[in-house]
Amino acid sequence: MFMLPLKNHEINKILIIKLRGIGDVILSTVILDNLKEKFPDAQIDFLTEKPSVTILEELPHINNVILFNRNSSFKRFLQLTEIRKRKYDLVIDLFSNPATALITFFSGAKYRAGFPYRGRRYAYNIYGPPERAKYHAADLHLELLKEAGIKIYSKNLFVGLTNKDYTFANNFFSGNGFENYFTVGIIPSGGWPSKKCDPEKFAEIADALVEEFSARILILWGPGDLEDSKKIQELMANTSVLAPNTTLREMGALISKCDMVIANDSGPMHLAVAVGTPVLSLHGPTDPKLQGPYGENHEWIRLEELDCIGCNLLECPKNHECFLDLSVETVINKVKLLIHKNNIAY
């Protein structure tokens, strides 16, 4: 497969493209340190969708965050011409769908990196692996960098939090008596109904954490999660604290104050990894080897013995056994492992 060899001295302006979910965008930030190491003086811009702008715009790696226009064909054409006018030398399309392939192709960039999925190969002259299922989503991005001749120095993920965000979190923790307690965040978020652990099970897990470790429980939630979060709190036999309504960055700052979090496969799960908080993720329809928490400091649980595990269905056609049949003892043992591997005091 022919690929254009990349010449470092020609790279002064870089555009990264990654659309869709917040978690997907967070995973794509794994390339940032490596690009800065390779091209320390290059301008790096990032094309994404509205929900992810807030976590990228404060990152020191990124010069400009560009909002992808979905509104109309005419406005998208105007965006194509605007991107071409910016005269990027290298475009890295980490999304590689038909729309982003078109943007990459018409960008005018000499170097155009992406994945050669069906009908999109024309847009690129540097190709990542065609098989997604062989790699964790973050590692897939790094494989594309390798194909461009960029050495991998770092596997860090990033979100841009401000001093204001951290001050908010510090004030909340001190105001709710979390100081000097082993604090576990419970995060019931999930992009699909089938990915969300049932409130009844989360309540069981949270009570076990209180009883086993004298933990303080903070229930964190985002849009659409408030009802489940309140239900977890109501079902618990022990006391817990419900986080206030927050911005995504404020949630990230709260998560950074937790000793660990237990989460579904979700954007906030990847947010926790990016802010450096150990994660225990609960999986049913999705594969933790591909979408789980990234890095060695984290753990995951999935009931591999179920014949329907990894179904990838948006709605469970059965009784959600992948979560309801989880053994609380298994969860507690995983928590002990996280405590040990991260040297967490409790």
For range 16-40, the mean pLDDT: 96
345 pLDDT above the threshold of 90: no
Q: Tell me the C-alpha distance between 151 and 177, whole Å.
A: 45
Q: Are 103 and 66 in contact (CB under 8 A)?
A: no
pLDDT at residue 3 in the model: 66
Residue 1 has pLDDT above 60, yes or no: no
* Residues whose CB falls within 8 Å of the CB of residue 302, separated by 6 or more in sequence, listed in order: 282, 283, 284, 288, 309, 310, 322
The pLDDT score that the predictor gives to residue 178 is 93
Of the chain, the percentage scoring pLDDT greater than 70 comes to: 99
The identity of residue 234, as a single letter, is: E
How deeply is 313 buried, as exposed, middle or buried, from its count of CB atoms within 10 A (0-12, 13-18, 19+)? middle
Domain with CATH 3.40.50.2000 in the chain: 8-147, 163-341
Report pLDDT digits (tens) over 162-182.
999 999 999 999 999 998 899
Could you tell me the two tokens for 302? 């999935």
pLDDT for the residue 167: 98
pLDDT digits (tens, 9 = 90+) for 86-119: 999 999 999 999 999 999 999 999 999 999 999 9
Above 70 in pLDDT, residue 249?
Answer: yes
The model's pTM: 0.95
What band does 305 get if pLDDT is binned at 50, 70 and 90? Answer: very high
The neighbour count for residue 41, using CB atoms within 10 Å, is: 7
In this model, does residue 310 exceed pLDDT 90?
Answer: yes
Q: What is the pLDDT of residues 200-236, one digit of tens each?
A: 999 999 999 999 999 999 999 999 999 999 999 999 9
Tell me what the pLDDT averaged over the chain comes to: 95
Mean pLDDT, range 291-306, rounded to an integer: 96
Mean pLDDT of 238-248: 97
pLDDT band for position 131 (50/70/90)? confident
Alpha-carbon distance of 297 to 131, in angstroms, equals 26
Distance in angstroms (rounded) separating the CA atoms of residues 110 and 248 = 36
CATH architecture for the domain at 163-341: 3-Layer(aba) Sandwich (3.40)
- CATH superfamily, with its number, for domain 8-147: Glycogen Phosphorylase B; (3.40.50.2000)
Q: What pLDDT score does 2 carry?
A: 53
pLDDT above 90 covers a percentage of the chain that reads: 91
pLDDT for the residue 9: 85
